[in-house]
Amino acid sequence: MIGAMSDYVAPVEDMDFVLRNIAGLGELSTIEDFSHVDADEIAGLLDEAGRFFSEVVAPTNRNGDIQGSQRNPDGSVTTPDGISQAYDKLVEAGWGAIAFDPEYGGGGFPNVIGLAVQEMLTSANMGFSLCPLLTQGAIHLLDVHASEQQKLDYVPKMVTGEWTGTMNLTEPQAGSDVGALTAKAVRRDDGTYAITGQKIFITWGEHDVAENIIHLVLARTADAPPGTKGISVFIVPKYLLNADGTPGAANTLECVSLEHKLGIHCSPTAVMAFEDATGYLIGDEQTGMRSMFTMMNSARLSVGLEGLALAERAYQQAVQYSNDRTQGGRPDRAKGEAAPIIEHPDVRRMLLTMKAYIEAMRCLCYLNASAIDRTRSADAAVAESAREQLELLTPLSKAWCTDLGNELTSIGLQIHGGMGFIEETGAAQHFRDIRIGAIYEGTNGIQAIDLIGRKLPMRGGAVVAELLDAADAHAAALTGDLAEVAVHITDATAATRTASEWLLANPGDDGLAGATPYLRLLSTVVGASLMAQSAAAAQRELADGATGDRAGFLEQKLVTSRFFIEQLLPSQVGLLASVTRGYDPIAAFTP
């Protein structure tokens, strides 16, 4: 039937292009930790990963949505048919471990390679991908803040995926306001803690795909001060460990219900109840917020990647549908002969809009991930520059890419016309699944506040200014037909400099009122800068004699780059007025 959900094919050629030309994969091999990485072998690795996720995980996506995870009367959870088997194959293949420390069984690859693999997993089945994603975040927290013994006890099995991890933060009365949480931790004589409280929105909080679940739980000790300063974080495993490190007695915790959600039905989102459950303190008491942000900062890039991944899946399906669906005539066809809708200019514009934004998002997310890798450089100046770039790009990746995920999956649905509104085609699933991205791991409004409150002021605004300088340099480097669109980038950087200066001079509600449009403006400028950089790389390779399919791929790079810079970027320059207008027009509103 025309309109049935399409297969997923990993865009390996574009991934490899971005890794080499934007993320600087070749340069990462100069960092001691990654000296074993051969950039020329990465394309083969991505090919094999793409085959795995297309053949093993992608077929579970539709049934995962329709069937969903179910809680049983005994509190256990059954995942949809095929999910447990696919997870076993993922563990066996080791794809989730490639970017972790070899000391704990990881592959030792750069984070940016792990992110590329994660993109494939997320496109294949977002709900499924959340299980490894939360485990990854928990590993990062343990790696940075846990004791050596705690790492040895838990991290190796989590790296392999044999055990999974969660973050138990949110409570019914404490969402974004973490300081309002009330879960209690009472110290016992043996040094463990009794954890009591209820947590909501716990992703993969209970399931049947792994033999143990390592919950990381935020709670307050008896003498803790109010607010975020009084929070501690604890390891609370589903099964306590035996002396030999194997899962033993069940801990006193339970999944009391599963949320009924708009999307990501495959992912069991649990309400977890802890009743004097045994917990193990990570670090010192009242340092939980610092530990939690280690996990959340890791997760924010991964959530931004979800916007890219779902937009890619929706784009692939929209391309297939627009080639299959015939409707309406064209001047070059016989009267009464219907044309594939991809021949209609408006449909082509929608597809090109999707493709151009997808390529820009991939550049941003991969650059963000490579900044994590570059912080490990032995050159202190390189490491510090990477740290600043990481700080600045993370809220852009999280918020811009998930906002675009919402918009682009909606365009994909629009291309399907009325069939897009029918669940049978599967186009609506992508739209429903990504809607959570702008909400969890810090709403996009919080990302915008973080951007203007913490990231823009770095070095008095110099970090943002240097990013805009790079954009101007990439514009100046455009040659040939693309040189004529460079003015759109310089106009946009000028507007962004004005907006940045105004925000630095206007803290408080005036600045907060302009935070969201500023994040959109800055993100789009960065996207245009990276598309210009991509175009220049494509031009160089074409000049070196690329032929055949490769030449066609590079020519399309020039098409999408030009479209982004010439047609998508200019509309965002108008956001300057929204950034600098101040709070008064908003304050005057009476709902």
Determine the Cα–Cα distance for residues 456 and 507; give it in Å rounded to an integer. 11
Task: Give the residues across from 185 on adjacent strands.
Answer: 195, 221
DSSP H/E element including 566? none
Tokens of 88: 């076993």
Task: Give the residues across from 195 on adjacent strands.
Answer: 185, 277
Determine the Cα–Cα distance for residues 395 and 401; give it in Å rounded to an integer. 10
Each residue's pLDDT tens digit, 128-186: 999 999 999 999 999 999 999 999 999 999 999 999 999 999 998 876 777 789 999 99
Determine the Cα–Cα distance for residues 390 and 7; give it in Å rounded to an integer. 34
Determine the Cα–Cα distance for residues 347 and 341; give it in Å rounded to an integer. 7
Exposed/middle/buried for 13, CB within 10 Å: 0-12, 13-18, 19+?
middle
pLDDT of residue 1: 40
CA 572 to chain CA mean position, Å: 23
Nearest to 32 by CA among 397, 388, 420, 379: 379
In the 8-state DSSP scheme, what is residue 246? S
Each residue's pLDDT tens digit, 382-438: 999 999 999 999 999 999 999 999 999 999 999 999 999 999 999 999 999 999 999
pLDDT of residue 227: 87
| 3: pLDDT strictly greater than 50 | no
DSSP assignments along 112-167, one per residue:
HHHHHHHHHHHHH-HHHHHHHHHHHHHHHHHHHHS-HHHHHHHHHHHHHTSEEEEE
The answer to whether the CB of 538 falls within 8 A of the CB of 558 is yes
Tokens of 241: 């460990």
Determine the Cα–Cα distance for residues 125 and 57; give it in Å rounded to an integer. 7
pLDDT of residue 298: 79
Q: Which of 441, 484, 541, 555 is catalytic?
A: 441
Report the C-alpha dihedral over residues 437, 440, 443, 444, rounded to 10 degrees: -20
| 2: pLDDT strictly greater than 70 | no
CA 514 to chain CA mean position, Å: 24
Tokens of 414: 């629009």
The answer to whether the CB of 513 falls within 8 A of the CB of 581 is yes
Confidence of residue 208 (pLDDT cuts 50, 70, 90): very high
- Mean pLDDT, the chain, rounded, equals 96
| 4: pLDDT strictly greater than 60 | no
- How do beta strands 70-71 and 231-237 pair? unpaired
Query: Helix (H, G, I), strand (E, B), or coil: what is residue 269?
Result: strand
Handedness of CA 243, 163, 112, 519 (dihedral sign): negative
Determine the Cα–Cα distance for residues 270 and 238; give it in Å rounded to an integer. 14
In the 8-state DSSP scheme, what is residue 80? P
Each residue's pLDDT tens digit, 459-499: 999 999 999 999 999 999 999 999 999 999 999 999 999 99
* Model-wide pTM > 0.85: yes
Determine the Cα–Cα distance for residues 450 and 512; give it in Å rounded to an integer. 10
The answer to whether the CB of 214 falls within 8 A of the CB of 168 is no
pLDDT of residue 295: 83
**Rounded alpha-carbon distances, angstroms, from residue 137 to 125, 157, 264, 297, 299:** 19, 14, 19, 9, 6
Query: Helix (H, G, I), strand (E, B), or coil: what is residue 1?
Result: coil
| 87: pLDDT strictly greater than 70 | yes
Give the whole-number percent of the chain exceeding pLDDT 90.
91
Confidence of residue 6 (pLDDT cuts 50, 70, 90): low
Q: What is the mean pLDDT of residues 216-243?
A: 94
The answer to whether the CB of 477 falls within 8 A of the CB of 565 is no
- How do beta strands 212-221 and 239-241 pair? unpaired
pLDDT of residue 292: 84
Determine the Cα–Cα distance for residues 319 and 347; give it in Å rounded to an integer. 10
Q: So where are the chain's domains?
A: 443-591
pLDDT of residue 18: 98
579 contact partners, CB below 8 Å, separation of at least 6 = 499, 502, 503, 514, 517, 518, 521
Whether 211 is catalytic is: no
Task: Give the residues across from 194 on adjacent strands.
Answer: 186, 278
Nearest to 584 by CA among 520, 521, 503, 509: 509
Each residue's pLDDT tens digit, 508-546: 999 999 999 999 999 999 999 999 999 999 999 999 999
Three-class SS string for 185-241? EEECCCCCEEEEEEEEEEECCCCCCCCEEEEEEEEEECCCCCCHHHEEEEEEECEEE
pLDDT of residue 174: 76
